[in-house]
Structure 1
Amino acid sequence: MALDNLATMAQIDRLILSIGEDDFGEALFHTTQMVGDVDHVMVFAFAEEEDRPRVVINTGLIPAATAADAAAAYVEELYALDPNLPQVRAQPEGRAGWFEFDGGRGWDERLHRGFLVPTGVSDMILFAVMQEKVVYLVQMHRLYGHHFARAQRWLLTQIGELIAANIRKHFSYMHTLRGPNQFLIGRVLTEAALFQSITPRERLVCIGILTGHTSESIARNLSISVNSVLTYRKRLYEKLEISSQNELFVRIIDALMRLNWDGREVPTPAGRMEVNASRARLRGRPLAADLAFAQAFFDRSKTQPVASHWDN
């Protein structure tokens, strides 16, 4: 397939138009599917301040529950076994860095059992790109014994820099629009004692809620059903002993204000936070910036309430 094929160019145009939109992941999948017969796309974000990555795109032909389980397993522990991890972590700004899969022959057996075998991934094209100190690892999969032909690899490589540029623009736009809240929220959900009982899937749904996504959007981005999103949301609310989205905002704000510069909770009389603002940090962020972010969330929860199935 030539790069000037009208259908291919239309898909690339769709990808560009999807920058900053909820359907960017879906557009990325359809673009790579059109160009290189890609069966599934996963994108993992490695933030400089975080030990573990997050799944930010997970869409394609792998069954939704299977894809979600595999991605969750990867971000929880399997990523540490990825032979490309040192190069991914060291990816500089600029052009994309490409990695060899080689049939998974260099992959740890636990990666095979926990990721490749359950998903049916038989071939993969991988690259990483950095944007604002976050490295995005892009995995383009072929499934069930199929492999990329030489021409497909060439085509995907040819548009790879364009895809990488669009990924940089998309997440740069998201950072500008929403600030660093997705990564900040991720740290709070991992470190604050209140959230220790929630599962990885519930954590991802919580992040989706807090960053303004609808249940349909969360389902699409996590490749699960809307009913599954509602189930995880209900369990999340039950564990936090809340009944509305506004209460979830309050819990997050409270957790933000109880975390000191090194992430440990600060015991204070009458539940108030008393800390020297001149030295207070949350992983390098000034306290004032965190409070401004928390206030923005609070204002949003007051002015833009979103109906919940458990608000009644």
Structure 2
Amino acid sequence: MKIGFIGLGNMGAGMAANLQKAGYELVVHDIVREAGAEHIERGALWADSPAEVARASEVVFTSLPGPREVESVATGPNGVLAGISAGKVYVDLSTVYPDVVRRIHEKFAEAGAHMLEAPVSGSTIGANTGRLAIMAGGEKEVYERCKPLFEAIGDHPTHTGPIGTGAVCKLAHNCMSYSIQAIAAECYTLGVKAGADPEVLAEVIRNSAVGRAVHFNFIFYETFLKGKFDEPHFPMKGAVKDVGLALELAREYDVPMTIGNIAYGELITGLNRGWGDDDARRAMTLQEERAGGVQVRIPEK
């Protein structure tokens, strides 16, 4: 089975190489031909356009910088849609807006072809090593058909649901990632300015609850995602005390804590509602209220 791959940049080059390592024949294209040199040396065929890639392949992947490039390559003149035939599959690995992939999906469906979105997470390191999370939205049967390909480029493929849900998951993840980055910068800066050795501070955080991802792997699942707060892993009143002391230290050393103060405000609001003895994660429900009463809950199995 020939696989098409368009976009051999920072992420695409490694993913395409891993498809080759898994034994798949590739047909490749990039706006810079030299980007495909190593893949061609390993046996890949070069195509002069996305349409030509689609004509020569059963499944076509794209890995591109953003929505504009994806729409152009997928549906523009001499794009994937112009060369694809009924029954074939187009998979976009880029990070784009949900409505963009829904619009592209509709055009491919009209042509009798299939489309999956499959944004990835894991950085260039993951792209090169095959350690990527893959968030695939679209028809389940098409996902199952492509799953061996996903397993060649990543170690955690997930079918997220209908088309557009992959983009939703990826955008939520990336926003969370860079928000964590912002509070991490505040707290590292606070620690060092208050006298901690940077290497020691980094090691302590890496070995503690945050660094071990205890919240994402356990605590959120047992509290917020189940709506259970009456058996606290750590009470809200204790969290108010700890964050309050950190902010007091920040004021002493003139360290601005924009995100830290927001977190403290959430905890104080929860405390004023009488939640002091509940698990500190109950403060997360305040955002559910502000979002119109949405509940982020995982059914008990």
- The verdict on a shared fold, with TM-score over 0.5 as the criterion, is no
Q: TM-score, normalised by structure 1?
A: 0.29
Higher alpha-carbon Rg: 2
Higher RCO (C-alpha 8 Å, min separation 6) = 1
